[in-house]
């Protein structure tokens, strides 16, 4: 049962994420003639000329990319999750046309681009959390991210530029420019939704009182401290460097602790995207 739960959870996330993507497309992008990028963007362009159903074209257009993903993104596991996302997104895209007015909820291009990016980005991120992709440029973005370490937001910009350019000729350059903004914002929202917002602070503390400082951090903040050996580049003296990770709200308390224990200490505070392990989010091996 424990092995089944993560899989069912992932499938549920993929279903929810695909539905949210379809809502963003139908409610904001399509009424404003804003190309969403990827296969769905191409489907929008073709729909404006032929009237063919967007969801059906998304499904058909994903077949060759689906085979590419089979080869490079995980075999059978990739097939099931991506097929679920693509089919669900295509189904809801064509279903929602009966429930969402063709004019959307606003004719403001800026609002449509920003809210479309926000809603779609959340949908993309949830699908990613379910370890799936939404097909189309999602597949190419994941391949770039895995092979070359290209951030997801940049991958979207790379693989979707041609679609936005084509949209300029069909929908107009004003709409294309807004679509480009939406594409960028959607990539940022996708990363945030997929990876979370648990930004933490890392601290390097060089002090002549390492035992006192570390003990105070243990007792007051209840945070772990790692002691690293170091040597002064100018004096050549051996020094102990303390390394610890705290939340944003604990940063000021950490500064006070260090200042009180050793006013002459040198401290560098940095930012980390996420902390996993004891005292923070659990390290999920799934």
Looking at 195, 219, 252, which one is the last position of a domain?
195
In a shared domain, residues 130 and 241: no
pLDDT at 155 over 60: yes
User: What is the enclosing helix (H) or strand (E) of 204?
Assistant: strand 200-207
Last residue of a domain, which of 162, 195, 228?
195
Q: Do 222 and 131 fall within a single domain? A: no
What value does the mean pLDDT of the chain take? 85
Q: 58 and 189, same structural domain?
A: yes
Q: For the chain, give the number of residues.
A: 286
**285 domain-assigned:** no
Distance CA 97, CA 91 (A): 10
173 lies in the same domain as 206? no
**What's the CATH code of the domain at 235?**
3.30.70.120
Query: Phi and psi of 259, rounded to 5°?
Result: -65, -40
Same domain, yes or no: 170 and 262? no
Q: What Rg, from alpha-carbon coordinates, does the chain have? A: 24
16 phi, psi to nearest 5 deg? -65, -45
- 229 and 141 share one domain: no
- What pLDDT does residue 87 have? 93
Same domain, 135 and 181: yes
- Of 132, 164, 195, which residue is a domain's last? 195
Question: What pLDDT is stored for residue 18 in this prediction?
Answer: 94
Q: Which residues contact 236 (CB under 8 A, 6 or more apart)?
A: none
- For 164-177, how does the pLDDT look when each residue is reduced to its tens digit (9 = 90+)? 888 999 999 999 99
Query: Whole-angstrom Cα distance, residue 170 to residue 178?
Result: 14
160 and 229 in a common domain: no
% of the chain surpassing 90 pLDDT: 42
Is 111 in the same domain as 167? Answer: yes
Q: Is the same domain home to 35 and 147?
A: yes
Q: Which of the residue ranges 134-143, 150-159, 214-223, 253-262 would you say has the lowest mean pLDDT?
A: 150-159
Q: What's this model's pTM, rounded to 2 decimal places?
A: 0.74
Q: For residues 205 and 178, state if they share a domain.
A: no
Bigger pLDDT: 7 or 282? 7
Assess whether 162 and 232 both reside in one domain.
no
Residue 224, domain extent:
200-272
Predicted confidence (pLDDT) per residue in 39-92, tens digit? 899 999 999 999 899 999 999 988 887 777 777 766 666 678 888 989 999 999
């Amino acid at each position: 049962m424990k092995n089944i739960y993560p899989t069912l959870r992932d499938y549920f996330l993929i279903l929810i994420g695909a539905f949210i993507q379809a809502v963003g497309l139908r409610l904001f992008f399509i009424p404003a003639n804003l190309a969403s990028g990827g296969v769905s963007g191409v489907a929008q362009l073709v729909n404006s000329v032929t009237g063919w159903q967007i969801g059906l074209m998304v499904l058909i257009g994903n077949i060759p990319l689906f085979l590419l993903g089979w080869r490079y993104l995980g075999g059978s596991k990739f097939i099931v999750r991506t097929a679920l996302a693509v089919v669900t997104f295509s189904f809801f895209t064509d279903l929602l046309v009966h429930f969402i007015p063709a004019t959307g909820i606003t004719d403001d291009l800026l609002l449509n681009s920003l809210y479309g990016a926000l809603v779609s980005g959340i949908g993309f991120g949830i699908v990613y959390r379910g370890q799936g992709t939404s097909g189309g440029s999602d597949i190419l973005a994941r391949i770039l991210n895995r092979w070359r370490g290209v951030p997801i937001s940049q991958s979207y910009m790379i693989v979707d530029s041609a679609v936005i350019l084509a949209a300029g000729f069909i929908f107009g350059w004003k709409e294309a420019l807004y679509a480009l903004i939406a594409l960028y914002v959607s990539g940022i929202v996708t990363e945030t939704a997929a990876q979370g917002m648990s930004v933490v602070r890392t601290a390097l503390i060089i002090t002549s009182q390492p035992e006192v400082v570390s003990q105070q951090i243990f007792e007051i903040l209840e945070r772990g401290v790692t002691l690293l050996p170091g040597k002064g580049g100018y004096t050549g003296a051996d020094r102990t460097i303390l390394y610890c990770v705290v939340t944003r709200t604990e940063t000021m308390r950490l500064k006070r602790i260090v200042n009180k224990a050793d006013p002459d200490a040198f401290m560098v505070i940095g930012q980390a995207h996420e902390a996993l392990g004891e005292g923070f989010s659990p390290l999920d091996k799934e």
